[in-house]
Chains A and B, each alone.
Chain A
Amino acid sequence: MNFWRTADNPWGEEVLIGISWDLMWLAIGASVVFLIGHAVWLRTRPAEAHEAPSEAETSGIPEQIERHNLGSRLFHWTMAATMLALLITAFVPVIGWQFPWVTIHWVAGVLLIATVVYHVIRAIGWQDFWSMFQLGVAEGTAQVRHVLSAKAPAPPRAGKYPFDHRMYHHVIVVTTLAAIVTGLLMMVRIDTPFWTPNPYLLSDATWGVMYVVHGVSGVALIVLVAAHIYFAVRPEKRWMLWAMVNGFIDREKYLEHFDPSKWDVTGGSAPTSVEGGTGALADASVTARRDD
């Protein structure tokens, strides 16, 4: 198996030109193995028992809790569409189904950038930015322990974004940003209405690195997106998918999975927890009313 593709430039110097497409097959294989493996593994696990919520807990909590407002949902689905478009246009032709993919790819890329910019501005200005950036070491440790052994105690209920969601978000951020930055630069080389293609903006060697980073991000996104979709459609998690569709979860799911002290949905009337987010990157203003 090869990791990269190289070529001799016009002067006969060997330069990187991108990742080996073997890596795409590896990513596809890894995704399949993971999905099947996870599904099988999950069947070996005892059903997760959840305590019924107490009266005290339910008091003041609405029947339907808005988890994702319209803006967030629009962002998510636009991003999902662009991401899928990008992945399909990137890899399907490699697999062998030829179609005019370049324009769709860069237009989708530009849309993705727009959604990301929108998301970042919104997260900083209008959302609880830090809720996503809590480290949550204790929560994470507990979750990992629980995954490794069903006997380990279930992790404490999470804030709005559980540990695994936060970690997934971070990985996606890094991968997508890598793809975006390199992709933006690569647009300089192709025919767009914005400028004359210029393959000589950077040196051959630098371009090689760009292509490799873009390629590695791309194949990583195959795995990440596959896993994301898989979890979204799993029966026990489908309520989250619906939340992303219609915006709401019900009180039962809320109390089952979230700690009201960490994700306050009552507008401050519910009892607050004394326990803050351990190891939070900043003061985890967990009591703040949030939009989503």
Chain B
Amino acid sequence: MAKIRDMIPAFELLQPTSVEAAMDLLDEHREEAWVLAGGLDSFDWFKDRIKRPSVVVDLGGIPELTGISEIENGLVIGAMTSLTEVERHERIRAEYSVVADAARHVATPQIRNQGTLGGNVSQDTRCWYYRSGWPCYRAGGNTCYAAAPQAMNREHCIMGRSRCVAVNPSDTAPALIAVDAKMIVENPGGPSVYDAEDFFIGPAIDITRMTVITPRDLLTRIQIPATWANAEFYYEKVRDRASWDFQLVSVAAAFRKAGDTIEEARIAVNGVAPYPVRVEAAERIVAGTSGDEATAAAAGEAAIEGARALRHNDYKIPMMRNLVRRAVRSVA
């Protein structure tokens, strides 16, 4: 069969107006169904005719999935809330600025208007071997083309590899881990709550998925607990150009301080593994210090413990080290 790209094949479009109706549809169509949020990842797959669902469940018409509401103990962000809204939300900017910062670093204003927070964390990897429709492990085949000795893999992972060496592309994921966000996933069995860091899974667990979401599951809400409100935050994304670009490496961090001392820290890095990495070793080093240069350097070194480069991505090791170091330095 010959291949052709850039032409979306027909599918049945289902547009439920409530979460309940969406869940019914997902339950009915199971593996056949594709959940559509902002479409920025989905349509890329569709137009290349690589992922060809017969049924697309569009969440765009479900009011209860959009918007940001304040609860007693934090904030709840509907999964379909646009990244622009997250970026501009007053309380997020004031109390959880790392999340707003991360949202602002996504692609372009147009993409942020269309893209959703739920979609941003649920998106598939951008490994170009995989996105080219090659039969790699992640696509159900038996090869990782990106880890081959002569492969072009400058954007691939330096840790967490397991047959697959792709990276998670989400800008908001590390920020959500930094604020200890909870992901609420619903299915006919009821809701489950995942810590943000557990929401993302590596290829060792399931090589075909980036998150815990399986057919019939719906990420409905993202809850930011007040625990880290008004902490000191740091976000930085290194990319090749200043807009419309995925990260090479990004870091998001939250520090709770008492006077000059960092009591507790949460530091997450993305672009280095198939999932956003929480660098707990670095967090431990930082706790109880002032975040001075020596601590920052030690935290950076701890973060890259065990990192291993592919042919073209050795630079990610110092880049990750330096970003973690900068994050710590920022609160000193």
Contact = CB atoms under 8 A, between A and B. Distances in A.
A46 to B, nearest CB: 51
Given A10-B145, A18-B142, A198-B148, A102 B162 contact: yes
B161 interface: yes
Contacts, number: 60
A12 B2 contact: yes
Interface stretch (A80-88, A163-171, A189-197, A225-233): A189-197
Interface string B135-157: 10001111111011100000000
A54 interface: no
Interface in B200-221: 202, 204-206
B205 A17 contact: no
B161 A10 contact: no
Contacts of B205: 98-100
A12 B141 contact: no
A196 B149 contact: yes
Interface string A207-227: 100010000000000000000
A200 interface: yes
B135 A9 contact: yes
A199 B204 contact: no
Interface residues of A, number: 26
A190 B149 contact: no
Contacts of A199: 143-145, 148
Contacts of B135: 7-9, 15, 17
Nearest to B204: A100
A277 B135 CA distance: 54
A191 B162 contact: yes
Contact of A197 (B140, B141, B147): B147
A12 B206 CA distance: 26
A103 B204 CA distance: 9
Contact of A7 (B141, B202, B311): B141
Contacts of A15: 135
Contacts of B1: 8
A10 B132 contact: yes
Contacts of B194: none
A17 B148 CA distance: 17
B206 A10 contact: no
Interface in A3-25: 5, 7-10, 12, 15, 17-18
User: What secondary structure prevails in chain A residues at the interface with B?
Assistant: loop
Contacts of A18: 142
A207 B143 CA distance: 10
A20 to B, nearest CB: 12
Contact of B142 (A99, A198, A200, A207): A207
A15 B141 CA distance: 10
B260 to A, nearest CB: 41
A211 B141 CA distance: 11
Query: Which of B3, B140, B142 is packed against the most chain A CB atoms within 10 Å?
Result: B142
B284 interface: no
B162 A100 contact: yes
A93 to B, nearest CB: 8
B147 A191 contact: yes
Contact of B163 (A17, A99, A190, A211): A190
A198 B132 CA distance: 20
Contacts of B163: 102, 190-191
B43 interface: no
A277 to B, nearest CB: 45
B3 A200 contact: no
B147 A7 contact: no
Nearest to B201: A98
Nearest to B147: A197
A244 B302 CA distance: 49
Interface in B271-298: none
Given A7-B135, A191-B163, A200-B148, A102 B141 contact: no
Nearest to B310: A196
Nearest to A98: B206
Contacts of B161: 191
A215 to B, nearest CB: 10
Contact of A17 (B141, B147, B162, B204): B141
A38 B16 CA distance: 53
Contacts of A8: 1, 3, 135
B326 to A, nearest CB: 30
A269 B42 CA distance: 81
Contacts of A196: 147, 149, 311
11 contacts: A5-B140, A8-B135, A9-B134, A100-B205, A189-B144, A196-B149, A196-B311, A197-B148, A199-B145, A200-B149, A207-B142
Interface of B: 1-3, 132, 134-135, 139-145, 147-149, 161-163, 202, 204-206, 311
Given A15-B135, A196-B147, 7 more contacts: A7-B140, A98-B206, A102-B162, A191-B163, A197-B147, A197-B148, A211-B142
